[in-house]
Amino acid sequence: MIAANILSYIAVAAVAVVLVFGLANMMRGGSPNRSQTFMRWRVILQFGAIVILMAVLWLTQHGF
């Protein structure tokens, strides 16, 4: 179960990193296309993080 917790932390951290990069790009007046790319990656990573977290919760409740 330790691996699942580590994977959960990595997934959440990846979302946070991409969010910070996207916000930093917008704040410094960077390319709108790059900001759009960061936000698309954020949405994809958020979906992955939710799937991972739900899988960890399911596995924890079912004793795996």
3-class state of residue 31 by DSSP: coil
Q: Which two tokens stand for residue 30?
A: 């960077």
**Number of structural domains found in the chain:** 1
Full residue range of the structural domain in which residue 10 is found: 2-61
Q: What is the pTM of this model?
A: 0.84
Model confidence at 64: pLDDT above 80: no
Q: Give the pLDDT confidence of 2-60 residue by residue, as tens digits.
A: 888 899 999 999 999 999 999 999 999 999 999 999 999 999 999 999 999 999 999 88
pLDDT attached to residue 3 = 83
User: DSSP H helical segments within the chain, as ranges?
Assistant: 2-27, 32-61
